[in-house]
Amino acid sequence: MSQIVGIDLGTTNSLVAAVIDGKPTLIPNERGKFITPSVVGFTDTGELLVGEPAKNQAVANPERTVTSIKRLMGTDRRIVIGEKEYSPQEISAVILKKLKLDAETYLGSVVNEAIITVPAYFTDAQRQATKDGGEIAGFKVERIINEPTAAALAYGFDKGGEARTILVYDLGGGTFDVSLIRMVEGAFKVLATTGNNNLGGDDFDYRVVEYLIERFKDKEKIDLKNIPDVSQQRAILQRLKEAAETAKIDLSSLLETEVNLPFIYTEGEEPVHLHETLTRAKYEELVRDLVEQTQQPIHLALSDANLAPEQVDAIILVGGMTRTPMVQRLVRDEMGKEALKDINPEECVAMGAAIQAGIKRGSLEEFVVVDVAPFTLGIETEGDKFSRIVPRNTAIPCSRKSLYRTTVDGQTEALIHVLQGESDKASQNESLGEFILSEITPAARGDSLVEVFFDYDVNGIVKITAKDRKTAQGKSITIKASKKRLTTDEVAHAQRDVSRHTGSMLAQRERSKVLYEAESTLKDLTLLIRAGEKGEKKIDSIEISRLSEMANKIKEALKSEDLSLLEEHIEKATGLIADYSY
């Protein structure tokens, strides 16, 4: 039987999980880790790299490395690598395909179906793009669920029937969501959801990057933002971004951290190094307004759900960014209580997705999840007005009908512009597309009535259908071409493209696994040699030289990336290390 997995497709990192023996379980990647960087790289020879190996080559090869693709989902942007152009859906599909291969290897069975999570505040275009990404990767996408809802499911999984109101505060790598969820005896009902699709950890990193650039300019009189050599410029920015992220993460547990970037720039023959101390206080000053931007969505969610902070029983923090002390303080101050400490903010979304997969597969008892429409859905009417059809926070799936009267004698076609958003002005909302309604029965002006149905499906994806009122016949609706959406043909074509890479992705996975094992073995060996030299372990000098010889052999084989030789060395070295593990 084919398995269904749950996938948290994050801006920075992604995770995959499944229900195993009745429990949601995270699935490790080839390096034994649950977290896989959402990074895709293309080597000069056209080979695809995904996850850790892609992240590792980002500095050396920034122009052929794609990060934070989630931020471009649902847009018409294209990523140009060499001669080829990729849609955000295709790049996401590569990440999803890798998670599929990880799951298949771990579970020992084919995985054809997936539940994929998205930020609750994702628009129709972003949800559709995610679903297409899943299909390009070779999944049947069973359902798209909201990240906060998944987190609440993970929390409520073993909590029994007690009624509780939960606030989920989700600050990830690129997006921010707040959801209020009421849980009663296995039923999860979303009461309200708000957020900001353009606020996340990346923005915090860039604040630190800007600061480092400013400080470097003051000290060295060199502007790292204005380096004439484009590829050097990119590599510098990539190194700064990575160092900024590391510093940011350090400052969640430390009060001060060092940023060291040796050889950041070469002036003539002279290398210039970047060295900076960053305190938590300075960092907090740099990002205060970003943290404060999360305040208003909390208020809005509470007022939409008609709740006061004290009526909320539990607060769940989701996303790596919620490890930031300043973020935790803001949530505590707004809500008047501490968030739960026993929920892992990086893992709970994938766990919730796995629970939803288990429900779908019938291997878990039924939970009922009722989510809501994140945005008001409506159409443009004369004078740039926005006519609301489905208000935000309406429980989904839902369907609303609207009646149209023809405005011209003999009219056979009509154009409907569908939008999502909260502004009274159509032009300020997000356009979903223009739909051409054709085959209207010709009649005198006002005589022909067309019923248009606006459906939000269970995934939060909008579907528009129409019917001639008189003839009760379905009318065809075509979306005017938009690069934001892929056609069925484009999805099928991309699917073939990605599946062509399966063999090389498997080989790459194996290579990454062996290289990682070799590096870990080398680390263990080095520690053992050092312990022997210091006399902390009793190892005679002949043995120490044997161990050193082994370490050198691994180093050599790592340089040439000779996988079969590495495997041989790893086996021998593991045996040697085991002899001393007393």
Please identify, among the stretches 6-14, 76-84, 103-111, 351-359, the one whose residues bind ligand AMP according to the rule CB under 6 A: 6-14
- Residue 99 in contact with ligand AMP, rule: CB under 6 A: no
Minimal distance in Å, beta carbon 337 to ligand AMP? 21
In the list 173, 195, 297, 352, the residue contacting ligand AMP (rule: CB under 6 A) is 173
Of 372, 380, 417, 407, the closest CA to residue 122 belongs to 372
Beta-carbon contacts of 494 under 8 Å, excluding residues fewer than 6 positions away, are: 87, 89, 90, 93, 136, 486
Q: Where are the beta strands (DSSP E) in 295-384?
A: 314-318, 368-370, 377-381
Task: Dig out the tokens for 337 from the structure.
Answer: 């209580």
> How long is the chain?
582
Q: Which of 88, 319, 378, 421 binds ligand AMP (CB under 6 A)?
A: 319
Query: Which stretch, 42-50, 119-127, 288-296, 314-322, contacts ligand AMP (CB under 6 A)?
Result: 314-322
Residues in Cβ contact with 349 at an 8 Å cutoff, skipping those fewer than 6 apart: 8, 10, 15, 117, 147, 150, 151, 154, 170, 318
Please identify, using beta-carbon distances, which residue of 151 and 359 lies nearer to ligand AMP: 151
Nearer to ligand AMP, 58 or 514 (CB): 58
Least distance to ligand AMP from the beta carbon of 351, Å?
13
Nearer to ligand AMP, 174 or 433 (CB): 174
Q: Which stretch binds ligand AMP (CB under 6 A): 5-13, 97-105, 288-296, 428-436?
A: 5-13
Catalytic residue list contains 70? yes
Give me the catalytic one of 30, 55, 70, 177: 70
Contact 338, 332 (CB under 8 A): yes
Q: Helix axis angle, 541-560 relative to 563-579, nearest 10°? A: 160
Q: How far is CA 17 from CA 148, 161, 298, 314, 582, in A?
A: 16, 25, 29, 24, 35
Among the residue ranges 221-229, 316-324, 399-407, 480-488, the one whose residues contact ligand AMP (CB under 6 A):
316-324
Q: How many CB atoms lie within 10 A of CB 446?
A: 12
13 binds ligand AMP (CB under 6 A): yes
Note whether 406 and 466 are within 8 A (CB).
no
Using CB positions, name the residue nearest to ligand AMP. 201
Provide the phi-psi class of 466: left if phi over 0, else alpha when psi is between -120 and 50, else beta. Answer: beta
CB of 346 or CB of 380, closer to ligand AMP: 346
Kindly state whether residue 119 participates in binding ligand AMP, applying the rule CB under 6 A. Answer: no
Which position among 102, 147, 205, 347 bears the catalytic label?
A: 147
Looking only at the bridges linking them, the beta strands covering 36-37 and 84-86 are unpaired
Mask 342-361, x = binds ligand AMP (CB under 6 A)?
----x---------------
Nearer to ligand AMP, 133 or 320 (CB): 320
Q: d(Cα 282, Cα 274) in Å, to the nearest integer?
A: 18
Q: Can 489 be counted among the known catalytic residues?
A: no
* Catalytic residue list contains 424: no
Number of chain positions touching ligand AMP (CB under 6 A): 17
Active site residue 170: yes
10 binds ligand AMP, rule: CB under 6 A: yes
Q: Which is nearer to ligand AMP, 321 or 389 (CB)?
A: 321
Per DSSP, the three-state class of 170 is: strand
The one-letter amino acid code at 458 reads V
Six-digit token string for 496: 């073939």
Q: Does 209 bind ligand AMP (CB under 6 A)?
A: no
Q: Determine if 433 is a binding residue for ligand AMP (CB under 6 A).
A: no
- Strands 385-390, 176-184: pairing is unpaired
Q: Which stretch binds ligand AMP (CB under 6 A): 41-49, 87-95, 241-249, 567-575?
A: 241-249
Which residues, at least 6 apart from 515, have a Cβ–Cβ distance to it below 8 Å? 558, 561, 566
Q: Which of 61, 67, 130, 324 binds ligand AMP (CB under 6 A)?
A: 324
Q: Which stretch binds ligand AMP (CB under 6 A): 4-12, 136-144, 177-185, 447-455?
A: 4-12
Query: Counting contacts by CB under 6 A, is residue 148 touching ligand AMP?
Result: no
Angstrom distance (rounded) from CA 406 to CA 414 = 8
Which C-beta is closer to ligand AMP: that of 251 or that of 529?
251
Binding site for ligand AMP (CB under 6 A): 10-13, 172-173, 201, 245, 248-249, 252, 319-321, 323-324, 346
Residues serving a catalytic function are: 8, 70, 147, 170
